[in-house]
């Protein structure tokens, strides 16, 4: 699942800037449902990162079972913070 696929699946577009706030809220809710049902760790992580970018990701201790998964999420968060600092 790549980013463009997620945009199309949850927001019916490849340009998030065209999506209304209500549609973003609805898309995020669908993402949360899918996240809760997803068994594949890679797909779960992809969903979590997108929700993180949108400011809607669940807390790490809720989202991930293992410390390795939580550390990977922390690494992603650090990377995003560094990008914002540049």
Range of the domain at 71: 3-85
Please tell me the pTM assigned to this model: 0.89
- Cβ neighbours of residue 13 closer than 8 Å, sequence gap 6 or more: 7, 19
CB 74 within 8 A of CB 52: no
User: What is the residue whose two structure tokens read 């760790």?
Assistant: 41
CA atoms of 62 and 55, how far apart (whole Å): 15
Indicate the number of domains in the chain: 1
Give the tens place of pLDDT for each residue, 29-53: 999 999 999 999 999 999 999 999 9
Show the tokens assigned to 27. Answer: 């898309």
What pLDDT band is residue 86 in, cutting at 50, 70 and 90? Answer: low
Give the contacts of 28 (CB within 8 A, at least 6 positions apart).
Answer: 10, 51, 54, 56
């Amino acid at each position: 699942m790549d980013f463009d696929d997620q945009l199309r699946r949850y927001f019916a577009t490849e340009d998030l800037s065209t999506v209304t706030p209500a549609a973003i809220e609805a898309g995020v809710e669908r993402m949360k449902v899918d996240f809760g049902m997803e068994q594949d760790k890679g797909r779960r992580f992809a969903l979590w990162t997108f929700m993180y970018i949108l400011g809607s990701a669940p807390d790490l201790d809720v989202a991930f079972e293992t410390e390795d998964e939580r550390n990977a999420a922390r690494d992603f968060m650090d990377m995003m913070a560094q990008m914002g600092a540049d």
